[in-house]
Amino acid sequence: MSNESPQSPSSVTSLRPNQYRTIFISDVHLGFRGCQAEYLLDFLHSTKCDYLYLVGDIVDVWNMKRGIYWPQPHNNVVRSILGKAKHETKVIFIPGNHDEVFRDHAGLVFGNVAIKRDDIHTTAAGKRLLVLHGDEFDSVVKCAKYLSILGNHAYDWLLALNRHFNALRRRLGLGYWSLAAYLKHKVKNAVSYISNFEDAVTREVQKRQVDGLVCGHIHHAAIKQINGLDYLNCGDWVESCTALVEHYDGRIELIDWIEQTKARQGDEIAFSEAKAKVG
């Protein structure tokens, strides 16, 4: 996903933040050029919650080993999260494979942010959800880490191509469209991997005697029933800009922030046009 957008999301932020009981975000990849930090910052400013789960790969330590990339929007995201932790929001950080260095600090609290390997979240409806990143069940990461790193380089290349592709679309007056996501979901091996991952995770989690799980890792947002469990994947803030939210009645919803931003932009344009006609 490109770092630029047809219109800055911050320019159409809601005046009144949406209130949720819980928000789950994963795979932000701060420190990586493909990170959509401005969209995430807009989302964080537009929402309030009692619990905020950071479900892994929030900071892309893997990428930063190749060179530091840390623009101001990435810093602003960290400040926004710490600000929420300081004021009424319980923030739980569950490191992933890209920020696994923080797993050594599981059980500690830094800046009001609790670091855990995994957690059990009980919804307002009484469902027990296991929250983890998901790489624990990825045989490629678990058994052949160097293959995963090679795959990460190929993914970087695909996202770079995606940025150039959308720069051309903007010059043609077209909106954002994720070439990276399209190609990933059309390639047979990628589709098979996603399906195998979801099945493997739910089969393993059944042993934990919970009602479902929340994870990330594969950059593929979903809410579905698999093997009798609620499978909830946050998606990412590189390709799709999605998050899971729990309402106060316990209902879980998948938020697509790109689509919501487009809708708000459309509302603003319609309002401006209507105002101009009245004037």
**What pLDDT, in 10s, does the model give residues 101-160?**
999 999 999 999 999 999 999 999 999 999 999 988 876 445 445 445 545 556 666 666
Residue 31 CA: distances (Å) to CA of 13, 37, 178: 24, 10, 20
Q: How far apart are CA 94 and CA 156, in angstroms?
A: 23
pLDDT of res. 12: 44
Indicate whether 226 belongs to any domain. Answer: yes
Q: How far apart are CA 234 and CA 221, in angstroms?
A: 5
Instruction: State the total domains in the chain.
Output: 1
Indicate whether 110 belongs to any domain. Answer: yes
Given the structure tokens 């790969």, which residue do they identify? 57
Q: How far apart are CA 1 and CA 182, in angstroms?
A: 11
Q: Per-residue DSSP letters for 94-107?
A: ---STTGGGGGGTT
What tens digit of pLDDT does each residue of 201-243 get? 888 888 889 999 999 998 889 999 998 899 999 999 998 899 9
For 195, how many CA atoms within 13 A lie in the half-sphere containing its CB? 7
Q: Please give the backbone phi and psi of residue 171, each rounded to the nearest 5 degrees, phi first.
A: -65, -25
Indicate whether 270 belongs to any domain. Answer: yes
Largest Cα separation within the chain, whole Å, is 66
AA identity, residue 65: K
- Note down the domain range covering 250: 19-278
Cα 94 to chain center, whole Å? 13
Indicate whether 98 belongs to any domain. Answer: yes
What tens digit of pLDDT does each residue of 189-210 get? 554 667 778 888 888 888 889 9
Average pLDDT score over the chain? 82
Q: Which two tokens stand for residue 49?
A: 């919650």
Indicate whether 5 belongs to any domain. Answer: no
Closest C-alpha to 95, from 51, 59, 63: 59
Q: How far apart are CA 33 and CA 44, in angstroms?
A: 20
Q: What is the CATH number of the domain that holds 252?
A: 3.60.21.10
What tens digit of pLDDT does each residue of 107-117 get? 999 999 999 99
Indicate whether 73 belongs to any domain. Answer: yes
Indicate whether 14 belongs to any domain. Answer: no
